[in-house]
Amino acid sequence: YQEIISEMLRRGFLYYDWNVSTQDTSKNINHVEILSNVKEAVNNQDSLIILCHDSKNKYHTVEALPGIIDFLEDEGYSFDKLDNNVEPITFSYQ
């Protein structure tokens, strides 16, 4: 990963990891569990970048999105695009 990240940065791209995972790659996960994973991971963080996967078999992720959005709005979060004004969240890769 570090080589890819370094090359992206060298080319002028910003690289973002996430600080909340839906864990939607877990086998046999459903939309209720996905929503629960998000609720547990938020922990009153100031800024969230949520990892969701998009593919034809991730229909449970799509089913969970309205609940995720409602929950986050009820918690006072708003949604916006990632741009140069958003501080990147990055992991340390070895």
Q: What is the pLDDT of residues 19-56, one digit of tens each?
A: 999 999 998 999 999 999 999 999 989 999 999 998 88
Q: Across 9-18, 50-59, 64-73, 82-91, which has the greatest mean pLDDT?
A: 64-73
8 A C-beta contact, residue 50 and residue 21:
yes
Q: Which string of DSSP letters, residue by residue, matches 12-41?
A: T------SEE--TTSTT--HHHHHHHHHHH
Question: Which pLDDT value is given to residue 94?
Answer: 56
Full-model pTM: 0.84
Looking at per-residue pLDDT, the higher value among 52 and 87 belongs to: 52
Tokens of 40: 């547990």
**C-alpha angle 64/34/92, rounded to 5°?**
125
